[in-house]
Every structure is written in C-alpha cells, then in structure tokens.
C-alpha cells in the first residue's frame, strides 16, 4: 500500500468546548433535517464535548419528550451514519424544549433561568451558542430580547456566541441593518454567519489544492487560464412548500450572493498571510471587492441571463413549470435560473471571464468549478484531429467529490492520433469513508471558536453590493432585461449558451 505522507498532517485546531446550543426555530425543517442530525453524527463519532446540550426554542407548545420523538423520527431517515438507538437515547437525554414566541420578553427571561437551572443541575461549562434558524423576519426580535435577558454577554470565562442562518438580508440595506443589530448584541468575534458551502470538504480542499501543491499556483493566473466555469445544478424544484420563500428570493439571492461567490472567492483569492480566520477572510473579501460592477441595466443585459423553467420532465417524472409550482405567484418575475459572466479586475485575473450558472429543475444535482487552461501553441499537431486541446482542471464540489485533470494523450497504435483523457482523484476511493456533512464541521468550529469558515460582515455586504446592481436592473429599471425560459429537465435556456458562445466558449457537459 502506498502511504500518503500528508494524510496524517493536521493543523492543530482548538478543541470544541461543551456548551448549550439554543436553536431558535426549533420545529423547522433545518433543525430536523440538518442541525440535529449533524449534532447526532458528531456524537456518534465521539466528538461531541461531554456536557453539551440542545435547547429548542419555538412557538408551538410541546414537551421535551414530544420534541425528542419528532427529532428521532427524522434523524432515522436522514442521518449520515444511520440511527443507533443506544447512541440516540444518550444524545436525546440532553435535548430540551422551550416554548415561547420570538417577541415575548418573558420567554427569554424564562430561557435564561432554564439555562442556569440546566447548568446547575447537570453541570456543563456554561457556554452558550445561540443558533438563529427561524424565519429571518424574527432575527431582530430574537437579538434584541437575547440582549434584554442578558444572554448575549460573555461571563467570566464563559462565552456566548451566535450563529446566523441564511438568508442574511435580502439586499445590502437589510444586510447592513441586520449587521447593525448584531453588532450591538454580540462582538464580531462571537458572530458566526453560516454559509454551509464553506463547510463542504471539497470547498475546504480548494485552499489545500492551491497552496499545499507546488504545481498549480504558478499557473493560477491570466497568463495560463483562459476562463473559469462554476456550475451549480439542481434537479429539485419547489417541493415541500419551498416556493413561498423562493419566489421572494430567486436564484441570484438564494445561491449566488452567498454560496457561489464564496466558492469563487476561495478559488480566486491571493494566498492568505496565514490560516487565521481573518487572514483567510481578508484574502476572500479582496476578490469580492475586485468584482467588476454591473454599472447599468445594459451591462446586466449583456452579462446576465435569468430564466424560469416551463413544464417538462426530470428523472423521468413530469413536473410543472415554475409559475405553476405550489406557492409561486402565477405571474412571478423571479428567476429559477441565472447565468453570469463576471470579471475580477485585479492583477491576477485581468481578462479572464468567470462564468457562473445556477438553476433549479436541471437534469441532475451537481456543483463543480472547472478551470480551463489556455491551449498549447497550435504548431506541431495542428493537422491532427483532437477532441479538444484544452486542459481542464475540475473541482467537483458534489456529488462524487474529487478533482480531475483533463489532458490530451496519444491513442496507442502506429498512427499519431490523440484524444482527451482524464486523471481523476475521488474522495470515496482515496479516503474510503464518507465526508462529514457541512453542518457537522461548522457546528464544531463554532463550538471551538474558529470563524474561518464563516462569512465576515464585510464579505456579506460587499457581495450584496454587487448583487443589488443586478436586482436593481431586473426589477427597477425602465427597460429590464428579459426573462428567458427553459424546459424543466434541460440544461437551461439557449440565451445562457449564447452568453458563452459570444466569447467562443461552451458550457461544460456534466
Ligand atoms: C440552500 C438554498 O442554501 O442551498 C437551496 O437555499 C439549495 O435553494 C441548497 O437547494 C443547496 O444546498 P446543497 O448543500 O444541497 O447543495
């Protein structure tokens, strides 16, 4: 067996500390499908610090037992490592329910007493992690009342931290407002704006690929890279009543402002001065600052395509068009697909287009970044037929996590014939075990006080500033760029193909 000398190498991290995790919006989908299963899996791996407990805070009336049973039912369906009744029982004995509306000051006063009581009775460190996963319109109330009850304060060596779920605002003004309220409640160092894409193993590996290998970084610039494509395709539509939220957001706000711009920041940033939270975030925010603004509706019309799907079939099933989806306005002007051409106006990337596309009801779920290198000088093999001379490095974020490098190779035989072949690294075969879910990593990081994989205030606001210009052109200009259409189950509108064709490129076939 070949041993990998780097495999054991870890950068020492602070350990997660025991705390009480208070989840606001505890009866919601995120808590059931992601947060509690993530904590359960951490417990199953033996990594949940002893003395950690969960308190669910929500409006509906229910007992601890009822809450635990509901969580167990979902955990059994979605848990990454299955549901072991013995592990669950021990884990669930530390789950509690607290009933209150979000705007009732008394509910927070009684929460404060409950936390002290639990800490006195059962021990634990007295640290508290507040997780805002309710509908975003309640964030202000929750923060104001946490402060009112004195729950926001660090006491002696006991910390109080807050994790804020997305959507983090719906434009720059609302994001700034939320940041203001946050800054009067928690210190920036105790504020964790979650973007679950940063917790994905493959997103974290972008830095390792770039800066722990000597061969890529010298090529990682406009002298060698022709263009970059980022694709995030989803086969899902508006199942489970999601249309209600989605129709107020759209693809640009829902995925591009956060997840995709974060991936681009990691891919395009300069080497950070160190791996500290601020070292990495300083480097990332500089990419966002260098995004060429879409200064006018004409710029937006030239560089951005928005679209909605019409009825079609996905994975062999007939599905309705976007405007016919449950809880979507039949006259909606919200995009379920967006494709953009971006430029990063800095020394490294001048002249390299970045193409992004994100869409619902595409043929399959897949997220990847592909880096298309410039072609070799066309002088020696120019008379031979070759599939493509482009070298492409693909970072597969999900599924089938891994990287591949496409290169041209000679087909064996007497003639000089060539074909494009692929060198492939797959997490599943190289490491032989499933990667932890993004939320597992991020919850542990927040419990250990490491904010590297969370968005900082300036990142969120700079990203919104860029997105606002596009939203403005779509919804407030007198000549808004048109809404294109694509059939559900296809790879998006022809207008998005035309966007790349103008530059002589094609979207990668996934
Ligand atoms: C969420 C978006 O943030 O990310 C959803 O609101 C999207 O619309 C989801 O489906 C995708 O996450 P993942 O991890 O499944 O790619």
pLDDT digits (tens, 9 = 90+) for 268-289: 999 999 999 999 999 999 999 9
Nearest atom of ligand 1 to the alpha carbon of 365: 16
User: Measured in angstroms, how far is the CA atom of residue 254 from the centroid of ligand 1?
Assistant: 8
Same domain, 249 and 154: no
Same domain, 152 and 207: no
User: Any idea what the CATH number is for the domain that residue 211 is in?
Assistant: 3.30.360.10
435 in a structural domain: no
Pairing of strands 128-132, 160-164: parallel
Same domain, 213 and 156: no
Number of domains in the chain: 2
442 in a structural domain: no
Q: How far apart are CA 36 and CA 54, in angstroms?
A: 9
Specify the pLDDT at position 122: 72
pLDDT in tens, 303-329: 999 999 999 999 999 999 999 999 999
Least confident of 2-6, 36-40, 243-247: 2-6
Q: How far apart are CA 226 and CA 352, in angstroms?
A: 6
Q: What is the mean pLDDT of residues 130-151?
A: 96
98 is known as an active-site residue: no
Nearest atom of ligand 1 to the alpha carbon of 200: 14
508 in a structural domain: no
> Which residue puts its alpha carbon closest to atom 7 of ligand 1?
255
Q: What single-letter DSSP state applies at residue 279?
A: H
Kindly tell me the sign of the dihedral angle through the C-alpha atoms of 259, 262, 268, 274. negative
Q: Which whole-number Å values give the CA distances from 489 to 81, 233, 341, 357, 363, in the listed order?
A: 31, 11, 23, 15, 5
Specify the pLDDT at position 140: 96
Specify the pLDDT at position 52: 94
Q: Taking a C-beta distance cutoff of 8 angstroms, is the pair 498, 303 a contact?
A: no
User: Any idea what the CATH number is for the domain that residue 57 is in?
Assistant: 3.40.50.720
405 in a structural domain: no
Kindly state the helix (H) or strand (E) to which residue 423 belongs, with its residue range: strand 417-426
Kindly list the protein residues whose Cβ atom lies closer than 6 A to any atom of ligand 1.
166, 196, 234, 254-255
User: Measured in angstroms, how far is the CA atom of residue 258 from the centroid of ligand 1?
Assistant: 11
Q: Taking a C-beta distance cutoff of 8 angstroms, is the pair 134, 28 a contact?
A: yes
- Catalytic position from the list 98, 145, 259, 505: 259
Which segments within 71-158 are labelled E, that is strand? 95-99, 128-132
430 in a structural domain: no
Q: Of 118, 143, 165, which one is at a domain's C-terminal end?
A: 165
pLDDT in tens, 69-82: 999 999 999 999 99
- Domain limits for position 129: 20-165
Q: How far apart are CA 264 and CA 284, in angstroms?
A: 9
Same domain, 156 and 207: no
pLDDT in tens, 225-236: 999 999 999 999
pLDDT value at 10 more than 50: no
User: Which residues touch 495 (CB under 8 Å, ≥6 apart)?
Assistant: 305, 307, 339, 484
Same domain, 203 and 157: no
pLDDT in tens, 387-421: 556 899 999 999 989 999 999 888 999 988 888 89
Specify the pLDDT at position 265: 98
Same domain, 462 and 326: yes
Same domain, 64 and 108: yes
pLDDT confidence tier of residue 14, bands split at 50, 70 and 90? low
* DSSP reduced 3-state for 410: strand
Q: Which residue, 463, 450, 468, is CA-closest to 166?
A: 463
pLDDT confidence tier of residue 125, bands split at 50, 70 and 90? confident
User: Which residues touch 460 (CB under 8 Å, ≥6 apart)?
Assistant: 168, 169, 175, 179, 193, 258
Q: Of 165, 188, 219, which one is at a domain's C-terminal end?
A: 165
Q: Taking a C-beta distance cutoff of 8 angstroms, is the pair 164, 186 a contact?
A: no
Higher pLDDT, 375 or 6: 375
Specify the pLDDT at position 124: 66
Q: How far apart are CA 439 and CA 417, in angstroms?
A: 48
Specify the pLDDT at position 384: 65
Specify the pLDDT at position 3: 37
Q: How far apart are CA 207 and CA 210, in angstroms?
A: 5
Same domain, 256 and 157: no
For residue 440, the number of C-alpha atoms closer than 13 Å in the C-beta half-sphere is 20
> Which residue puts its alpha carbon closest to atom 6 of ligand 1?
254
Same domain, 356 and 209: yes
Specify the pLDDT at position 146: 98
Q: How many CB atoms lie within 10 A of CB 271?
A: 12
94 in a structural domain: yes
Q: How far apart are CA 452 and CA 469, in angstroms?
A: 28
For residue 349, the number of C-alpha atoms closer than 13 Å in the C-beta half-sphere is 23
Q: Of 110, 140, 165, which one is at a domain's C-terminal end?
A: 165
pLDDT confidence tier of residue 42, bands split at 50, 70 and 90? very high
364 in a structural domain: yes
Strand partners, 45: none
Q: What is the mean pLDDT of residues 189-202?
A: 95
Q: How far apart are CA 264 and CA 475, in angstroms?
A: 26
Q: Taking a C-beta distance cutoff of 8 angstroms, is the pair 341, 355 a contact?
A: yes
Same domain, 143 and 229: no
Ligand 1 binding pocket mutation candidate from 38, 136, 254 (most atoms within 8 A of CB): 254
pLDDT confidence tier of residue 240, bands split at 50, 70 and 90? confident
Mean pLDDT (the chain) is: 93
Same domain, 104 and 219: no
Q: What is the mean pLDDT of residues 127-145?
A: 96
pLDDT confidence tier of residue 433, bands split at 50, 70 and 90? confident
* DSSP reduced 3-state for 261: helix
Q: What are phi and psi of 322, to 5 degrees?
A: -55, -45
pLDDT value at 131 more than 50: yes
423 in a structural domain: no
User: Measured in angstroms, how far is the CA atom of residue 259 from the centroid of ligand 1?
Assistant: 9
Q: What is the mean pLDDT of residues 18-42?
A: 96
Same domain, 205 and 151: no
User: Measured in angstroms, how far is the CA atom of residue 234 from the centroid of ligand 1?
Assistant: 9
Kindly state the helix (H) or strand (E) to which residue 359 belongs, with its residue range: strand 353-359
Q: Which whole-number Å values give the CA distances from 116 to 17, 20, 98, 153, 318, in the listed order?
A: 17, 10, 14, 14, 54
């Amino acid at each position: 067996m070949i041993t990998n000398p780097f495999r054991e190498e870890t950068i020492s991290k602070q350990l997660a500390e025991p705390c009480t995790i208070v989840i606001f919006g505890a009866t919601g989908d995120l808590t059931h499908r992601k947060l509690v299963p993530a904590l359960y899996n951490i417990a199953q791996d033996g990594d949940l610090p002893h003395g950690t407990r969960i308190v669910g805070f929500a409006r509906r009336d229910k007992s601890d037992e009822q809450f635990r049973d509901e969580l167990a039912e979902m955990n059994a369906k979605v848990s990454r490592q299955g549901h072991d009744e013995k592990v669950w029982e021990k884990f669930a004995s530390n789950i509690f329910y607290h009933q209150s509306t979000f705007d009732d000051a008394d509910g927070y006063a009684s929460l404060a007493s409950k936390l002290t009581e639990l800490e006195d009775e059962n021990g634990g460190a007295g640290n508290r992690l507040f997780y805002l996963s309710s509908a975003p319109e309640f964030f202000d109330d929750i923060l104001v009342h946490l402060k009112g009850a004195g729950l926001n304060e660090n006491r002696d060596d006991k910390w109080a931290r807050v994790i804020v779920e997305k959507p983090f605002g719906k434009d720059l003004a609302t994001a700034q407002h939320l940041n203001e309220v946050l800054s009067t409640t928690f210190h920036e160092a105790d504020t964790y704006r979650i973007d679950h894409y940063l917790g994905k193993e493959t997103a974290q590996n972008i830095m390792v690929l770039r800066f722990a290998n000597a061969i890529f970084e010298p090529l990682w610039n406009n002298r060698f890279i022709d263009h970059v494509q980022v694709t995030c395709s989803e086969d899902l539509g508006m199942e489970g009543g999601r249309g209600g939220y989605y129709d107020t957001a759209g693809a640009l706000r829902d995925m591009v402002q956060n997840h995709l711009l974060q991936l681009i920041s990691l891919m395009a940033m300069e080497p950070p001065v160190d791996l500290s939270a601020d070292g990495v975030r300083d480097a990332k925010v500089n990419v966002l600052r260098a995004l060429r603004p879409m200064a006018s509706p004409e710029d937006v019309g030239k560089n951005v395509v928005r679209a909605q799907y019409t009825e079609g079939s996905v994975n062999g099933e007939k599905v309705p068009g976007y405007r016919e989806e449950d809880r979507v306005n039949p006259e909606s002007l919200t995009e379920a697909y967006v494709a953009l051409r971006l430029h990063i106006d800095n020394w490294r990337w001048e002249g390299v287009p970045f193409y992004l596309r994100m869409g619902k009801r595409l043929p399959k779920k897949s997220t990847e970044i592909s880096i298309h290198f410039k072609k070799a000088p066309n002088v020696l093999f120019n008379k031979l037929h070759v599939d493509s001379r482009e070298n492409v490095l693909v970072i597969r974020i999900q599924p089938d996590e891994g990287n591949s490098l496409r290169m041209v190779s000679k087909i064996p035989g007497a003639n000089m014939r060539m074909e494009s072949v692929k060198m492939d690294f797959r997490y599943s075969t190289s490491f032989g075990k499933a990667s932890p879910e993004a939320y597992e990593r991020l919850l542990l990081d927040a419990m250990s006080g490491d904010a590297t994989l969370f968005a900082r205030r300036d990142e969120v606001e700079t990203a919104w500033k860029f997105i606002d210009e596009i939203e403005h052109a779509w919804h407030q200009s007198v000549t808004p760029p048109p809404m294109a259409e694509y059939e559900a189950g296809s790879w998006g509108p022809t207008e998005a193909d035309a966007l790349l064709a103008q530059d002589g490129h094609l979207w990668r076939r996934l």
